Amino acid sequence: MSNAFNSKLPQREIPAISVTDYVLRRASRLADHPALIDGSDGHTLTYAQLNDGIRRLAGGLAARGFGKGDVFAIYSPNIPEYAVIFHGVTLAGGTVTTINPTYTPQEMVHQLNDASARYIFTVPAALPTVLQVQADTQLEEVFVLGDQQDLSATSLSELYGESMSDDAAPTLTLDDDIAVLPYSSGTTGLSKGVMLTHYNLVANLVQLEQLELQEGQSVVAALPFFHIYGMQILMNSMLAAGGTVVTMQRFDLELFLSLHQRYKIPQAYVVPPMLLALARAPVVDDYDLSALTKIFCAAAPLGIELESEAAARLNCLVVQGYGLTETSPVTHLPIPGVALPAGSIGVALSNIQCRVVDPESGSDLGPEERGELWIRGPNVMKGYLGAPDATAATIDDDGWLRTGDIVTVDSQGYFFVVDRLKELIKYKGYQVAPAELEGLLLTHPAVADAAVVPLPDDEAGEVPKAFVVLKSDTDTITVTPQSLMEFVASEVSHYKHIRQVEFIDAIPKSPSGKILRRLLRDREPMWKP
């Protein structure tokens, strides 16, 4: 019998409709309102144009014989047309697989073949890469934005056909038909396709109503739509709420700030590296951010110190939440209007159950005890594509998904992420959390960024090593590896002491802000104890 922590929020009813129907639920009433605006040039799609484009693209796909069971890949930065293609595919009954625009050709080939993608959309700048890999894939046709002279690709405009009516749309099995197939980060081997059904996505969009997004509100979408955070929170949730999504093709701090100033954005959605820039970059003072009342940070651990530093600098509330690609993605958020304990990811969303499980014994733990977070709810994925063993290792027979994250939960139901289970450093049997040491290093006045990884040690098993990025105005003569190790040693128990520091130009991170520790561990020369 499991000891589940049930959500303290009321249950919500999940409507039996497709993700596209849910996202377009306000489109008719808001026909003349802007749905998406390109932040770089102001190109705008109204809700009427969005709805029409989705239906005509779905009709064009159907005319080509594309439908249920077929996969359409999107390899593009954030642009307004991204939403048209995404929902045109799902309305036609197909599955979207979203590709990281920074992928190497080899990574692209793996995903396209693993997903069995028939078609792909891209932008002119990325077309050469797509054409380079096409011969090694099952792709039948490449679509590109704008007029295209190269006969190897087809202009997206040629894909639009007769508008697909509700009656002509295929009948979907909402809890079985896959709407989107994003791929996990792949930091520990080849990436896996995460099968998210229409029911999964709609369930999480209903759960995300806790964000209290308002009709007519605008948000800057700097986080990539290929990633589940940008896809669901910034694109789908905002459109479902009747807001305006201002797209950015890549994060540029000054453009981000100018868009917030121009559109009087009330809420910002970021990852920790972006929050670090907002907290410390001098240029922030050049912009009027008085409309900003809340910053929501997720996708990677956020230290309490950075959270409070950013809140003080920007004079707004800074909160964090939690989720996984495998949970569509959000599982934990703050309760609006209720003070959140520092460092907490909030409470479990409606319709979600959680367990805290001892990784060694498999037994359930109680409040204030550290263990792996297990989650069950309507937003949990169907499984990994073509990987039944990996699915079984992640989701048990009772539907509990093992997150691989170590958490604690307090007596009030607030959760705190300690670290990744696989990233914990074992020093003579003691568990050392890299995120704790990284947060401490970031409080040093000379440190701009930091990452901590385990290194093998014959005596201790593993010891912590820190990679540190110094601020540009720092005197590297006075700041030495030894001085930073002493700084940390003065704040933590002996077993948490950092044993080596290496200065580095930048911490490698995924587009969602996660530290790519594997790249740091694999750096040469390897340190030998």
Query: pLDDT by residue (tens digit) across 207-240?
Result: 999 888 999 999 999 999 999 999 999 999 999 9
Whole-number Cα distances in Å, 284 to 261, 277, 281, 352: 11, 9, 6, 38
Pull the structure tokens for residue 98: 């979203």
pLDDT at 394 over 80: yes
Mean pLDDT value of segment 136-146:
96
pLDDT at 364 over 90: yes
Q: What is the C-alpha to C-alpha distance for residues 184 and 178, in angstroms, rounded to an integer?
A: 16
Residue 182: which of 108, 120, 96 has the closest Cα? 96
Query: pLDDT by residue (tens digit) across 289-310?
Result: 999 999 999 987 788 889 999 9
* Helix%, strand%, coil% for the chain, nearest 5: 30, 25, 45
pTM attached to this predicted model: 0.86
pLDDT at 1 over 90: no
Mean pLDDT value of segment 368-397:
95
Query: pLDDT by residue (tens digit) across 229-274?
Result: 999 999 999 999 999 999 999 999 999 999 999 999 999 999 888 9
| Residue 476 confidence (pLDDT) | 66
Query: pLDDT by residue (tens digit) across 151-179?
Result: 789 999 999 999 999 999 999 999 999 99
Mean pLDDT value of segment 423-439:
80
Q: Quickly state the pLDDT bin for 423 (edges 50, 70, 90).
A: confident
Residue 221: which of 209, 208, 238 has the closest Cα? 238
- Tell me whether strands 371-376 and 353-357 are parallel, antiparallel or unpaired: antiparallel
Q: Could you tell me what percent of the chain has a pLDDT over 70?
A: 95
Pull the structure tokens for residue 424: 């914990």
pLDDT at 528 over 60: no
- 3-class secondary-structure state, position 365: coil
Whole-number Cα distances in Å, 10 to 321, 335, 375: 18, 12, 17
| Residue 188 confidence (pLDDT) | 40
Pull the structure tokens for residue 236: 């789908």
- Tell me whether strands 347-348 and 154-155 are parallel, antiparallel or unpaired: unpaired
Mean pLDDT value of segment 66-87:
98
Average pLDDT, the chain: 92
